[in-house]
């Protein structure tokens, strides 16, 4: 569920603000959206009974002195063409609705709905060298090569494939 929301946010922000953004794969509850080095927002989703509760936070018009953490930015700081929250919100909600309808019509099949391909295209993690800090003391380092049908990150680690469902991903330069 987080994947289709993330693709929708990415597409809506890019089309509305003319500011190219990318999603970073994350199994953490707060999946960030970022510009080259900084995060301008995040997404949280949780299953509650038969419903999914979604929280979206976008730093649209914050000034540098208002940012919550050093790794944060805002669309205004990044000189986005649009920094009015109203058109950004409307675009996000329209795109989320469209993608939800597409996914529902495809009976939840991300490949058939086009969501899987859209996510792979929007994901800045794919093709990059990454370090994944797994739950516990284990760390994997490799190249992010795919996202499987269940939304797990697939790494090439020294010629063998490793699938990651949870962990903190760091893009290695």
Residue 44 banded pLDDT, cuts 50, 70, 90: confident
Length of the chain: 173
Same domain, 160 and 108: no
Same domain, 77 and 159: no
Q: Report whether pLDDT(131) > 60.
A: yes
Same domain, 8 and 54: yes
Q: What is the CATH number of the domain that holds 113?
A: 3.30.930.10
Same domain, 110 and 146: no
Same domain, 71 and 141: no
Same domain, 54 and 110: yes
pLDDT of residue 119: 80
Same domain, 139 and 115: no
Same domain, 68 and 145: no
pLDDT above 90 covers a percentage of the chain that reads 19
Same domain, 154 and 81: no
Segment 60-112, tens digit of pLDDT: 899 999 988 887 888 888 888 888 899 888 888 888 888 889 989 999 888 89
Contact between 84 and 68 under an 8 Å Cβ cutoff? The reply is: no
| Residue 64 three-state SS | helix
pLDDT of residue 74: 87
Q: Report whether pLDDT(39) > 90.
A: no
* Rounded Cα distance, 43 and 32, in Å: 6
Segment 48-64, tens digit of pLDDT: 898 878 888 888 899 99
* Axis crossing angle, helix 115-122 with helix 2-17, rounded to the nearest 10: 60
Tally of domains in the chain? 2
Q: Report whether pLDDT(13) > 60.
A: yes
More confident residue, 122 or 159: 159
pLDDT of residue 29: 45
Q: What is the CATH number of the domain that holds 133?
A: 2.30.30.100
Same domain, 133 and 113: no
Contact between 164 and 27 under an 8 Å Cβ cutoff? The reply is: yes
Range of the domain at 164: 129-171
């Amino acid at each position: 569920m987080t994947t289709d929301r993330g693709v929708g946010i990415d597409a809506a922000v890019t089309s509305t603000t003319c500011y190219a953004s990318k999603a970073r794969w994350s199994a953490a509850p707060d999946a960030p959206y970022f510009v080259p080095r900084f995060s301008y927002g995040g997404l949280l989703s949780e299953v509650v009974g038969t419903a999914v509760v979604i929280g979206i936070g976008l730093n649209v018009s914050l000034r540098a002195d208002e940012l919550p953490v050093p790794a944060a930015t805002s669309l205004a700081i990044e000189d986005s063409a649009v920094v009015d929250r109203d058109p950004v919100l409307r675009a996000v909600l329209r795109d989320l609705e469209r993608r939800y309808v597409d996914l529902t019509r495809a009976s939840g099949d991300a490949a058939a709905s086009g969501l899987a391909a859209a996510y792979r295209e929007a994901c800045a993690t794919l093709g990059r060298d990454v370090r994944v800090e797994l739950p516990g003391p284990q760390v994997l380092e490799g190249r992010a090569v795919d996202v499987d049908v269940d939304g797990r990150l697939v790494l090439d680690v020294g010629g063998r494939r490793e699938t990651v469902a949870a962990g903190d991903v760091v893009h290695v330069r």
